[in-house]
Amino acid sequence: MAELDALRDQTGAPGWVAEEPEAHLLPRVNEAIAGGAPWRLEVAETDADGTFAIRLRWMGEGDAGRAAIRTAVVSLVGQIAEGTTLIHERRAAGVVSYAVVTGDLPGETRFTTHGHTLVLTIDEPGWPPSAAATG
């Protein structure tokens, strides 16, 4: 897919990751949460490589499954997404994280080509499992 190749090429360009994700992304995350998104913001910080790391606590249905969480994540990412976006899910015991790369590619914006990298980390509902559920 040409768009995926173009996104990969752009992510390696010097200065492609937009500065100050707290200023560009955090207000939109907060607006989504205030508008009824099933999260509580726990931590938001920028890593040394420019990745915006966001820790969220799930506040939705206690028995929410993967589809419900993914739907909420895609909705949240939609609030901050640029023209081309990749979302990759990773799961570990009790935690699910989504690595996101989003950006405007050459010819897609009147602004300078730029993007954002972020990681959303969420404690899964129902973790740790109760003693009744495990045995």
Distant-in-sequence, close-in-space partners of 15: CB < 8 Å, separation ≥ 6: 114
Predicted model pTM = 0.84
In the predicted model, is pLDDT for residue 103 greater than 50?
yes
Q: Within a domain: residue 32?
A: yes
- HSE-CB at 134 with a 13 A cutoff on CA atoms is 6
Torsion of Cα atoms, 125 then 88 then 90 then 52, to 10°: -80
Residue 135 lies in a domain: no
* In the predicted structure, residue 135 carries a pLDDT above the cut 50: no
* Domain-located, residue 134: no
Asked whether residue 47 is assigned to any structural domain, the reply reads: yes
- Structural domain includes residue 115: yes
| Number of structural domains the chain divides into | 1
Pairing of strands 114-123, 95-104: antiparallel
- Spatial CA neighbour of 97 closest among 81, 129, 119, 82: 119
Q: Does residue 121 lie within any of the structural domains? A: yes
- In the prediction, which pLDDT does 134 show? 47
CA–CA separation, 106 vs 6, rounded Å?
9
Structural domain for 71, as ranges: 2-125
Identify the pLDDT of residue 130.
Answer: 52
Please tell me which residue, 16 or 102, carries the higher pLDDT value. Answer: 102
CATH number of the domain that residue 8 is part of:
3.30.460
Q: Which residues make Cβ contacts (< 8 Å) with residue 13, sequence separation at least 6? A: 113
At residue 45, does pLDDT exceed 90? yes
